Copies of this chain bind each other. A is one copy, B any other.
């Protein structure tokens, strides 16, 4: 029999897990059928969440199980599940803890989010394989080096934008990247780039979206005289700062705050919000549905 303590630690700490994410028109019997499937092959359900989205009339489910004693080899689980998916007209995604997400971090010159992501991953808070730091400046190559992560520099000018992006995409392919994290990367990605990684590019925007879209949000916040500032992490889509929101947080400011101190307070927010969003994504807890997300914490 499996040690109980072992069975129930979350995926982030465990290497023998499968997670099934599924989107389906609502039909009675889904939970019963899915849990029966797992039980039949000897899986032990560790976590299970569901949600019905009334806007899109979609049923969403996340189910995580221990596959130590699973009667199917990992590579055959998805195909074994397929008949159920067809029966209920589901879209599904199977994630396995044995396959660590390969993550690239794109940066420009700010280092605070980069440091934060690297430190947390090293300390075991997140479990990504950070395989690349990609930048349009040389500035942060030493940080990448400090953490033994390959650093690639692709400079971008107005004229070279298209070619440069082609090169970036090629690098991301070469490094077999699953997830792109924009850690205060100061360039806008083209629709072509975005299409390569649907709901797999995470950005941090330094405002409480949808307030203060676009450039210099702290300046906008200062001028509007708000009493609270925020940060927002979201998947990148073709519409600037309009993608599905994963996580947000806020902090108080007052008339005593200058733009300079707002930027400082904001840095703490950016770090926390981006790292939480990345962690939730890495644990396969975020399901996009239209322009919103369901986050099974």
Residues of chain B within 8 A (CB-CB) of A31 are: 35, 39, 45, 48
* Cα separation A258 to B224 with both chains bound (whole Å): 30
Q: Are A292 and B54 in contact (CB under 8 A)?
A: no
Which residues of the other chain, B, contact A28 by a CB distance below 8 angstroms? 2, 39, 42-45
Kindly list chain B residues whose C-beta atoms are within 8 Å of the C-beta of A258.
Answer: 9, 54
Q: Which of A82-90, A164-172, A183-191, A244-252 has 4 or more CB atoms under 8 Å from chain B? A: A244-252
Known contacts A31-B48, A44-B28; is-contact A245 B264 (Cβ 8 Å): no
With CB as the reference atom, state the residue of chain B lying closest to A226.
B245
Interface 1/0 per residue, A30-68 and B, CB below 8 Å: 111101101100111111111111110100000000000
Q: Determine, out of A153-161, A173-181, A207-215, the stretch whose residues face the partner at the interface.
A: A207-215
Total count of chain A residues near the partner, CB < 8 A: 71
**Contact assessment for B255 and A51 in the assembled complex, using a CB-CB cutoff below 8 Å:** yes
Contact B13 A260 (CB under 8 A): yes
A115 near B125: Cβ-Cβ < 8 Å: no
* Whole-angstrom distance between the Cβ of A69 and the nearest chain B Cβ: 9
Q: How far is the CA of A287 from the CA of B7 in the complex (A)?
A: 21
Top 6 nearest A-B pairs by Cβ distance? A225-B292, A32-B39, A8-B52, A211-B211, A32-B35, A255-B294
Q: Which residues of A contact B (CB under 8 A)?
A: 2, 4-5, 7-9, 13, 26, 28-33, 35-36, 38-39, 42-55, 57, 112, 115, 119, 123, 125, 208-212, 223-228, 230, 244-250, 254-256, 258, 260, 264, 268, 272, 291-295, 297
